Amino acid sequence: MRMTDDVVVVALDVDQNEDAAAVVAHVERNDFAGRFAISPIELTRTLTAEFGNGIITPPRSPKVLVNADQTSAVYFDGVASAEELLEMARDAR
């Protein structure tokens, strides 16, 4: 999914065995757009406390949509089309 004026993609790598070089290589290899970072262990723990271990299971394609004023968050896993993601983002407003 590409970023737009309405959507900002933030991807967190939760694998503590990977480093910034691995993240950069993955982003470049797949021509991804967005913000990419390695999740600090404290954030990973907070995410699992809030959403369960599925949030750190990459094969499940976990996602959290957060609206712009950060008052609503929706967690889901699995693959969704760009249109479905945009619709969910609009609904989270």
**In the chain, domain spans:** 10-91
Label residues 19-29 b or e (16+ Cβ within 10 Å = b).
eeeebeeebee
d(CA 47, CA 41): 10
Q: Are 66 and 73 in contact (CB under 8 A)?
A: yes
d(CA 90, CA 69): 13
pLDDT in tens, the chain (93 residues): 455 666 777 888 998 899 999 999 999 998 888 889 999 999 999 999 988 998 898 878 788 877 777 777 778 888 888 788 778 777 766
Q: What does pTM read for this prediction?
A: 0.71
d(CA 11, CA 8): 10
